[in-house]
Amino acid sequence: MKTTKEALKKLMKVKLNKAGLSEEHAAGVADVLAYADARGIHSHGAMRVEYYAERIAKGGINTNPNFKFEKTGPSSAIFDGDNGVGHVAAKIGMDHAIDMAKESGIAVVGVRRIGHSGALSYFVQQAAEQGLIGISVVQSDPMVVPFGGSEPYYGTNPIAFAAPGKNDDMIVFDMATTVQAWGKILHARSKNESIPNTWAVDKNGEQTTDPFKVNALLPIAGPKGYGLMMMVDVLSGVLLGLPFGNKVSSMYHDLSEGRNLGQLHIVINPAYFTDIEKFKENISNTMGELNNIKPAPGFERVLYPGQNSLIAEQQSEKEGIEIVDDVYQYLESDVVHYNKYDNKDPFAK
């Protein structure tokens, strides 16, 4: 089913509002989700609404959070999300980081005690749109085997980065520290498609192509991805005094409880380090030079990091956003949720 971005946002806002979010927070979540779907990141888009709706309805997301922002130094701060919806808390936290970086050159804002916040690239793009560099990391529930291990310890623990170029140019990329994000497994399940055997392992620790047999994910580049996911966990968990490692709360365990997740935003003002216009020019030059590199056999051209998502977004503006029929039908229905996520094994069908 194809739909426009605005129509999709409206459907999601109505559903989330019906589940118990305020209109303002429902609109904020819908904006992040529609952004993801428009950029082809369907694992963090509309398919998540039913899960959020169930968690909201059961009290696991605070619908009236007492957000608190506290500066802890000239360039550091903590934003407490009071286990409100993560998308809104992360966005407000980034707004504060942007203001601080404009004033002092750099800002580090820890966003603590939040729920799942969706596509990280949304938040770093906020910074790039203001002429700033944005970096964001967030912890997630344990579903990845450490290099050399057979039991999950860390989450997919993603990293996002954005930098502004000239005019509307912008480099924006978002990556899990696993070979693939868990949401991509869910998306494969929703479409009954197989997955590459490099993404995940089954209950015996063997690589699998069946998304329904996945029991743990694999770190990207073996020990290198393992090291990166540890770094993310330290910066967004240990640093903020939150649960870490295999103690991070499960997305599906007890939907009546807040998740207490952590996210860290780092914003850098290029004007404090170099000529800002020259910086933007060089970012644009980087983008163009990468595109002009001779492609390897089997490739049409070289894309700069994140360009595939930009191409998907431009295409969706012309052709609409493709949404799985079951997801679209749920959004159009009068049902808030089907009570199917609470205490679910995250790897179950």
Interval 5-26: pLDDT, tens: 999 999 999 999 999 999 999 9
Neighbours of 159 (CB within 10 A): 20
pLDDT at 109 exceeding the cut of 70: yes
Instruction: Provide the pLDDT for residue 11.
Output: 97
134 forms bridges with which residues in the sheet? 162, 267
- The runs of H, that is alpha helices, within the chain are 5-19, 23-38, 49-57, 86-104, 121-128, 182-190, 223-236, 276-291, 307-319, 325-332
Rounded CA separation 299/289 (Å): 16
Interval 285-305: pLDDT, tens: 999 999 999 999 999 999 999
Rounded CA separation 113/133 (Å): 25
- Which amino acid, one-letter code, is at 320? G
* Structure tokens, 320: 């609409």
Instruction: Report CA Rg, the chain.
Output: 20
pTM across the whole model = 0.93
- What does CATH list as the number for 2-274+312-332? 3.30.1370.60
Residues with a catalytic annotation lie at 116
Contacts of 22 (CB under 8 A, 6+ apart): 63, 64
- The runs of H, that is alpha helices, within 46-193 are 49-57, 86-104, 121-128, 182-190
Interval 197-247: pLDDT, tens: 999 988 888 889 999 999 899 999 999 999 999 999 999 999 999 999 999
Contacts of 175 (CB under 8 A, 6+ apart): 158, 159, 160, 220
Instruction: Provide the pLDDT for residue 348.
Output: 58
Least confident of 12-16, 339-343, 344-348: 344-348
Least confident of 79-88, 93-102, 200-209: 200-209
**Angle CA(30)–CA(249)–CA(260) in degrees, nearest 5?**
65
Rounded CA separation 307/123 (Å): 17
Interval 255-271: pLDDT, tens: 999 999 999 999 999 99
Instruction: Provide the pLDDT for residue 347.
Output: 65
Q: What are phi and psi of 218, to 5 degrees?
A: -110, 140
Rounded CA separation 349/347 (Å): 7
Neighbours of 74 (CB within 10 A): 12
Instruction: Provide the pLDDT for residue 181.
Output: 75
Neighbours of 16 (CB within 10 A): 26
Instruction: Provide the pLDDT for residue 182.
Output: 75
* Structure tokens, 239: 């640093």
Contacts of 16 (CB under 8 A, 6+ apart): 25, 26, 29, 30, 49, 52, 53, 56
Rounded CA separation 176/8 (Å): 25
Tell how far CA 200 is from the center of its chain.
19
Instruction: Provide the pLDDT for residue 184.
Output: 81
Among 47, 56, 38, residue whose Cα is nearest residue 12: 47
Angle between the N-to-C axes of helices 23-38 and 307-319, in degrees from 0 to 180, rounded to the nearest 10:
110
93 forms bridges with which residues in the sheet? none
CB 226 within 8 A of CB 219: yes
Tell how far CA 77 is from the center of its chain.
21
The sign of the dihedral angle between the CA atoms of 293, 295, 296, 302 is: positive
Rounded CA separation 60/179 (Å): 29
**CA-to-CA dists, residue 314 to 195, 203, 227, 297, angstroms:** 26, 40, 34, 26
CB 321 within 8 A of CB 5: yes
